[in-house]
Structure formats: structure tokens, C-alpha cells
Amino acid sequence: MHLKSKEIIIEAPAEKVFGQIANCHHLKQGIGLANVPQMSDLECTDTTCSFKMAGLGSLVLTITDTTFPTRVVYDVKNEHIRTVTVYFDIETVQGGSRLVSSSDLDMPFFMSQMLKPVLLNFLNVLVDCVKTTTERTQ
């Protein structure tokens, strides 16, 4: 199953948006996932981030690929689901950047239907946090 977050426009160049997403330390400190009510126990290195999220349990995000300044790819794993791949695609638009996050779910259909709303919310929270932080640090 393929999920796609809402598309948002960020008033910052693609390189700045990419910098916020391509280092997991920014997820915790810069982007502010530590302040998202659904998340707890957030721990990050340069390439991985682990936390607990309501509805999903313990998650580990690992950066698996980057293409400067247009794409960052994460694998997301936990004890209940196989790998979920999350893509952040950044496009330069007039006056800033367009950011969208998407995900491919590799799990049984019935389970993907149960997790779809939680994962979609997660993708939307991520893009909102990136927008807020990137524009704040302009």
C-alpha cells in the first residue's frame, strides 16, 4: 500500500529543507519531534532515530538514502510491522520549496488498513514539523 502526506509549501530553499530532514539529530532538536504529544522516549544519532508513538509502539527510523537536495529516504521498523519505507521529496518552487512525504507499506493488507490512519497522521506530523522549524530558522 502507498500513502502520501499532504503537500506543503515551505518558505525556504530546498537545500535548507533537505538539511532539516537528512540528519536525525534535527528530528529531535531542530524539527521538534520531542514536543509532539503522540511521541515519547526520542533518541537520535546522525542516521537513526528511535521513539515510541501512540498507535504504533516503538519505532526505529534509519536514513537509507539521500539525494541532495531533493530526496531523503528512511526505513521505519518496529516489532509488529515489516519495513515501512518513508520518502521525503523536496521540489523547488517559486518562493520556496514543496515538501511531500510518502510511504510504501510492506505488511499484510488487513494490518495495513488498521495502521493506515496512524501512519498517515505520522507523515503529516513530520511535514508540519519540518515546515515550522525550517521557516522559524530562516
| 98 pLDDT above the threshold of 80 | yes
Instruction: For the full predicted model, state whether its pTM sits above 0.75.
Output: yes
CATH superfamily name and code, 2-136: START domain (3.30.530.20)
| 14 pLDDT above the threshold of 80 | yes
Domain boundaries, the chain: 2-136
| 30 pLDDT above the threshold of 70 | no
| Torsions phi, psi for 90 (to 5 deg) | -120, 130
Mention every residue, 6+ apart, whose C-beta is less than 8 A from residue 76.
59, 60, 61, 62, 83, 84, 85, 86, 103
What secondary structure letter does DSSP report for 31? S
Strand, helix or coil for residue 11 = coil
